[in-house]
Amino acid sequence: MVRNIVVLGGNSHPQIVETICNFLGVPPCNRILKKFSVGESRCEIQDSVRGKDVYIIQSGSGKVNDNFIDLCIMISACKTGSAKRVTAVLPLFPYSRQPDVPYNKAGAPLSKAPTDVNRNDFTFESRPATPSPTQPQSQGLTNGMEGLQKKLGKASLDQQNGFSYANGITPRRSDTMDSSQSLTNGHNHRDRGSSSASQTAPSFTTHDYENPSILKTSVFQPKPGYKQWVAQAGTLVADLLTCAGADHIITMDLHDPQYQGFFDIPVDNLYGKGKLKKYIQTSIPDYRNAVIVSPDAGGAKRATAIADDLNMDFALIHKERRPTRITDRQNATMMLVGDVANKVTILVDDLADTSNTITRAAKLLKKEGATHVYALLTHGIFSGDAIARINASALDKVVVTNSVPQDEHRRLCPKLEVLDVGHTFAEAIRRVHHGESISTLFWD
């Protein structure tokens, strides 16, 4: 049992709080954390924190903004309750991945407007939207699946009504699937015999550049003479935590490790790669002949680190997030550098949010001859239709950590496997509390 320590859990991830408390041998701090009817947070710390080393666990998942404000209020409550030191433990750090281009209402990048002449020739790849307040995240998985089914259904109707694809290609008969089947049981069944409307959706139909109904609505209309300004919330979020009274931050696999520089307090950025490496070594047969693939240039350093450690081959996908003219190559905005023919491939990335990146990468890898595609990620956020998209994709297995709650995702996605990082955080807390080095946790 660790003495003089208080573990205070937010509402975002009760399971990881329990794991941490069990590991440290301390009960979770009693508190009330609710909402007044107006929507404001109500926080009461019911155990004394005077002179204690307090660790507040809150992940950047679910209702991210509510959870973040709750975290700030808990930090402040402990600080004003005379805690000796307050450490915010954020298994997934919110707002550390901010787009550098404006997004439209539906979540697609708005970096450039198409010309009037060929407006219908353009599309954007990040669809569907990352959920907004009216479009819940994890709690809204069923909604997400319904949403995807609606889109697939509409695509089929458009085709029946004679709407042709922007690239002039109509999906081949062999590329069709029964979307309702694949989305409800999680497998990509094909039914060539039936003539139902849902059949006309393309196989691995996960991307909107293949969906005419979405192409029609993805057009950005800028205000003349005005260049959009995108709020960069990173510094503000860092300042809010430190103003609330945080003395120390513990997190894992920040999207951009340089984000640590936004803080003037210590930030311990743990690595999830140890868990991912262990999974490769123990669960992927003949892994030495497999190829590690980074689905974009931003993640190349992360993926090569694993490939180098395990002495494996490496390939890179160049991902283009800017609007792109649709050509006859379906993967015109993704390009593979490296050889994956007849190989098992392992996509490595820090996170999947809409899952567009990994599902598109998987489709490209299978097209280039890969026999199996695994995706190994630290943070499985899976907002909106992400789970339905994975179920309908060419991915064979998706492995994530439980830096955000995964029970509901696992129930809906038979391809999903979850690795525990609760013990890693608990060990980091134990070491920070005793003033020991935590560098071994960075490299295991």
Ligand X SMILES: O=P(O)(O)OC[C@H]1O[C@H](OP(=O)(O)OP(=O)(O)O)[C@H](O)[C@@H]1O
Q: Which residues form the interface with ligand X (CB under 6 A)?
A: 97, 255, 295-296, 298-299, 321, 349-357
Which CB sits closer to ligand X, 53 or 350? 350
Which CB sits closer to ligand X, 80 or 132? 132
Task: Report, in Å, the least distance between residue 255 CB and ligand X.
Answer: 6
Q: Do residues 336 and 364 lie in contact, with contact meaning Cβ atoms separated by under 8 Å?
A: yes
Q: Do residues 91 and 425 lie in contact, with contact meaning Cβ atoms separated by under 8 Å?
A: yes
Task: Report, in Å, the least distance between residue 421 CB and ligand X.
Answer: 18
Task: Report, in Å, the least distance between residue 358 CB and ligand X.
Answer: 6
Task: Report, in Å, the least distance between residue 83 CB and ligand X.
Answer: 35
Q: Which long-range contacts (CB under 8 A, 24 or more apart) does 323-328 make?
A: 323/109, 323/111, 323/112, 323/114, 323/122, 323/123, 323/124, 323/220, 324/122, 324/123, 324/125, 325/118, 325/121, 325/122, 326/121, 326/122, 326/123, 326/166, 326/167, 326/209, 327/167, 328/167, 328/168, 328/169
Which CB sits closer to ligand X, 105 or 223? 105
Cis check for the bond before 222: say yes or no (omega within 30 of 0): no
Cα 231 to chain centroid, rounded: 21
Task: Report, in Å, the least distance between residue 386 CB and ligand X.
Answer: 7
Task: Report, in Å, the least distance between residue 99 CB and ligand X.
Answer: 7
**H/E stretch holding 343:** none
Residue 56 CA: distances (Å) to CA of 17, 31, 122, 189: 9, 12, 46, 45
Which CB sits closer to ligand X, 5 or 399? 399
Alpha carbon distance 276, 294 (integer Å) = 14
User: Strand, helix or coil at 339?
Assistant: coil
Phi, psi for 173 (deg, rounded to 5): -55, -40
Which CB sits closer to ligand X, 345 or 355? 355
**H/E stretch holding 259:** none
Task: Report, in Å, the least distance between residue 364 CB and ligand X.
Answer: 14
Task: Report, in Å, the least distance between residue 354 CB and ligand X.
Answer: 3
Which CB sits closer to ligand X, 136 or 298? 298
Give per-residue burial for 165-184: e unless 16+ CB within 10 Å, then b. Answer: bbbeeebeeebbbbbbbbbe
Task: Report, in Å, the least distance between residue 352 CB and ligand X.
Answer: 4
User: Strand, helix or coil at 294?
Assistant: strand
By beta carbon distance, the residue nearest ligand X is 298
Which CB sits closer to ligand X, 135 or 355? 355
Which CB sits closer to ligand X, 351 or 398? 351
Which CB sits closer to ligand X, 393 or 424? 393
Joined tokens for residue 340: 């994956």
Say how many CA atoms lie within 13 Å of 316 toward its Cβ: 13
